[in-house]
Chain A
Amino acid sequence: MKPLRSTSTESDVESDVTVVTERPWNVIVWNDPVTPMTVVEVVFKRIFGYSNNKCTQLMLTVHHEGRAIVWSGQRERAESYCVKLQVAGLQATVELDS
């Protein structure tokens, strides 16, 4: 028999908030002594669609610090970006955020 009125005490409101507990994967680009700086910038712009300023900043970080995190997030996407960077001839790897 179906009740005339719901007696459930559960909340009808569903939460839209997703709690992410996993650490992100970083895409790292490493410095090398032969790649022209403009090539690094162009590759960042083409692959990630970043602004000119962001591409320049990332390129300078690679140049001065030896490496830069150019993207962080889900592992599959990180590996996909890493492959794109390697196809474009840059030295790139992925690593779990520490």
Chain B
Amino acid sequence: MPGKLFIRRRDGRIEIRLNDVGRGAIREVFAHVVASERDPDHEWHLSMNAPINPSHDNDDPVSTLARQHDIATNAELSVMTLNEQFLNDAEAWAWLCTLQVALRSTAVSKGIFDEEKLSSCAPELLDEIHLMQQLLFDLAACF
């Protein structure tokens, strides 16, 4: 994909330079995050509910609720702003968090825990991961 996909403008807004195909791909990613937060059987659900304090059998319920709420809020805000041409700072941060949650959840659900495993995964999966990395790379440059 030539050129940057996200640009921080002088007025502080972040311009989205994605075509319909790109937005469609992101829509699918965001929808997965929303679904996995609600569905305990979703393949991403486990990675989104990782332990906070592994030395305890159960994490503090207040902390886990806060995490659930914030991930869902970010994902829903991302879905709501999918068709916008410009994002404000909070919206762009929600996009970054949701994309990163999706990227890590993809890796965890496919058992990609090291470089070796990453390089040996199926080409379609690798393309999916590279797309999310590229989006994150350009979006992170706006902060």
Contact = CB atoms under 8 A, between A and B. Distances in A.
B77 to A, nearest CB: 12
A95 interface: yes
Contacts of A90: 100, 104
B136 A36 contact: yes
A32 B107 contact: yes
Nearest to A75: B53
Contacts of A88: 96-97, 100-101
A87 B113 contact: no
A89 interface: yes
Nearest to B103: A34
B143 A45 contact: yes
B50 A46 contact: no
Given A39-B140, A79-B52, A95-B54, A89 B100 contact: yes
A60 interface: no
Interface residues of B, number: 37
A74 interface: no
Contacts of B97: 87-89
Contacts, number: 93
A93 interface: yes
B129 A34 contact: yes
A61 interface: no
A57 interface: no
A42 interface: yes
Interface stretch (B2-10, B17-25, B60-68, B79-87): B60-68
A34 B53 CA distance: 23
A36 B118 CA distance: 14
A7 B52 CA distance: 56
Contacts of A39: 96, 100, 136-137, 140
Interface of B: 50-55, 60, 63, 66-67, 70-71, 74, 93, 96-97, 99-104, 106-107, 112-115, 117-118, 129, 133, 136-137, 140-141, 143
Interface of A: 32-36, 38-39, 41-43, 45-46, 79-80, 82-84, 86-91, 93-96
